[in-house]
């Protein structure tokens, strides 16, 4: 079986280094509180501490019974289900850096998935191109981590073009309400309709992560004419990058804005990542922003 090459040990280490002191003490709790669907359940009472506790948290009935001010303590309900929808179309096997987009995404999903599983939550995986290639039902435990990496690294799972709408329709029909669904693609193939995203957002906590290569956003300078290939028709065209460089970047930036605005419109979230930069720092920043929003 042909496999993609990823440095998973380094990736896990990098995520840990960036989040050490945040992950190890607060991150696993904050990561959950950063996503809707995680409630709190009553654990016990404790004495009210003036100047520290919010007075609105005082349980007056319980306090009256013992003639002492008491506040309720809660523990977090940990039943989060996370499903990754990963684009495995042919264009994910391209790169202008050391990592293919597919390899970058594999490291991202494996590292993030490992932390989710370590927190005791369940992880599922949908690989899609123009069809659903693999569906790994959400499960907990390290065996699920092995399955995640096995499917993500199998190069035989990659090919054809991308149909994001079909992937969203599939998870809408097969995913459990309240799940956290993380869609990862470069979104180069245009969406057919916003309707499926609206439906998915009403059922799930939906996040779109756009992963792009440098060349997806800008053309290189200082070179002559080159041959490019249309991803839809397969037709080739001879172009001069210098002449269309400005317009190319403008269109690419517009494509990013369209997905970002769509997610904002339907109540979802958006994270942009680029393969020449680590995903660890943006991912943690994303968690912090989500936590602040839902606090």
Q: Go through the domains of the chain in sequence order and give each one's CATH number.
A: 8-26+79-294 (3.40.50.410), 40-76 (no CATH)
In order along its 295 residues, the chain shows pLDDT tens digits of 567 877 666 655 555 544 443 333 334 445 555 664 445 556 677 888 887 677 777 888 888 888 888 887 765 555 689 999 999 999 999 999 888 999 999 999 988 888 888 878 899 999 999 999 999 999 999 899 999 999 999 999 999 999 999 999 999 999 999 899 999 999 998 899 899 999 999 999 999 999 999 999 988 776 667 777 766 667 887 777 778 888 989 999 999 999 999 999 999 999 999 999 988 888 888 877 877 765 5
Task: Please give the pLDDT value at position 285.
Answer: 83
Closest to 271 measured CA to CA, from 281, 7, 17: 281
Task: Please give the pLDDT value at position 17.
Answer: 42
Q: Where are the beta strands (DSSP E) in the chain?
A: 40-47, 70-76, 81-87, 122-128, 132-139, 180-185, 205-212, 226-229, 236-239, 269-274
How many whole angstroms separate alpha carbon 171 and alpha carbon 182?
A: 11
Contact 112, 271 (CB under 8 A): no
Tokens of 225: 């004419």
């Amino acid at each position: 079986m042909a496999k993609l090459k990823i440095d998973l040990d380094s990736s896990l280490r990098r995520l840990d280094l960036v989040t050490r002191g945040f992950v190890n003490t607060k991150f696993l709790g904050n990561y959950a509180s950063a996503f809707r669907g995680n409630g709190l359940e009553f654990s016990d009472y404790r004495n009210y501490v003036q100047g520290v506790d919010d007075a609105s948290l005082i349980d007056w009935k319980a306090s009256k019974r013992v003639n002492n001010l008491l506040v309720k303590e809660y523990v977090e309900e940990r039943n989060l289900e996370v499903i990754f929808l990963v684009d495995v179309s042919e264009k994910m096997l391209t790169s202008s850096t050391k990592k293919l987009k597919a390899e970058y995404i594999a490291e991202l999903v494996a590292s993030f998935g490992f932390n989710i599983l370590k927190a005791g939550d369940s992880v599922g995986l949908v690989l899609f191109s123009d069809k659903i290639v693999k569906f790994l039902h959400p499960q907990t435990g390290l065996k699920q981590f092995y399955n995640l990496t096995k499917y993500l690294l199998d190069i035989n799972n990659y090919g054809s073009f991308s149909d994001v709408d079909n992937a969203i329709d599939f998870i809408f029909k097969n995913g459990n309400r309240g799940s956290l669904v993380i869609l990862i693609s470069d979104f180069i193939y245009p969406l057919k309709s916003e309707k499926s995203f609206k439906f998915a957002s009403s059922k799930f906590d939906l996040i779109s992560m756009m992963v792009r290569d440098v060349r997806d956003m800008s053309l290189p300078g200082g070179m002559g004419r080159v041959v490019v290939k249309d991803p839809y028709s397969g037709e080739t065209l001879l172009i001069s990058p210098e002449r269309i460089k400005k317009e190319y970047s403008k269109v690419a930036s517009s494509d990013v804005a369209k997905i970002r605005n769509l997610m904002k419109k339907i109540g979802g979230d958006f994270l942009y990542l680029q393969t020449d930069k680590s995903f660890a720092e943006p991912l943690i920043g994303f968690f912090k922003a989500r936590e602040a929003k839902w606090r």
